[in-house]
Structure 1
């Protein structure tokens, strides 16, 4: 079974794009298992973030379920990039599918991003699906 880790954020659009990528892979319904990962960076914020983050996950979950892809949902509290890399190791993920945001080069250099951090911290393959421009 090919294990994919799919971290989910608050964007339904990014969740749908991530799921679309996975369901387009050959043999998706027979040989792929997806772990949807929700990371909350603060236990206190989890209550307010969860409904928005879960809506992004629901969009991805629905698309994956319709394609008969095996799914499980996992949640963690901590720094998103660190938790994503940690869970990828725990699951021995074959691929990480991240939903990217479009940032200006200056903003990315100044603030960094979860996607950049994950790519730097893991030796596992990472696919970044497109996303809409980040809100400022």
Structure 2
């Protein structure tokens, strides 16, 4: 069994990219055990909460289970980077699968970067996926013209920004008409 630590925060687009990367691992549905982690800042919140109480965590859990991967939600509290590194050591993770955000060099200096700290201090491989748009995983698609959207899965898009059509559906939902081919 190959253990993957998958820390999620509040961003669904990053969680989606992380999950799709985990699902794409060789023999993922047979050999990959995912520890779905969220590090809460306060101890009392971590004791009564779960990553599944976050929309991004719930979405990640459902998608991983749907793909047939073994997944266990876990929580920590304190500094996010330290919590991720401690969980990786405790579960003897073979890989840490992060969803980093794009920041300017100045932004990283001013605000720090959990991804940067984990990558520098980890004693195991770290993969940083970015978000769904960087991986070209759309959340919605117009069935009339094929226009793709990169946003929260739960968002309803009433009309297409490209053609004005009203058949903008979540990717993965069945449609009565196939999307046009280019």
| Alignment TM-score, normalising by the size of structure 1 | 0.88
Based on CA coordinates, which of the two structures has the bigger radius of gyration? Answer: 2
**1:69-121: per-residue Cα shift (whole Å, max 9, x none)?**
00001001111100100010000000000011011111112221111111111
Give the conservation status (yes or no) of the 8 Å contact 1:10–1:53.
no
Give ranges in structure 1 of 5+ residues lacking alignment.
none
Q: Note if 1:9 corresponds to 2:9.
A: yes
Give the conservation status (yes or no) of the 8 Å contact 2:7–2:37.
yes
Task: Give the corresponding residue for 1:129.
Answer: 129
Task: Give the corresponding residue for 2:138.
Answer: none
Q: C-alpha distance in 2, partners of 1:19/1:74?
A: 16
Single out whichever of 124-133 and 70-79 deviates more from structure 2.
Answer: 124-133
CA RMSD of aligned residues (A): 2.3
Q: Which has the higher contact order (CA 8 A, sep 6+)?
A: 1
Q: C-alpha distance in 1, partners of 2:65/2:18?
A: 13
Give ranges in structure 2 of 5+ residues lacking alignment.
135-182
Residue 52 to residue 23, structure 1, CA distance change in 2 (3 Å): closer
The structure with more helix, counted as a fraction of residues? 1
SS at match of 1:76: strand
Task: Give the corresponding residue for 1:35.
Answer: 35
| Alignment TM-score, normalising by the size of structure 2 | 0.66
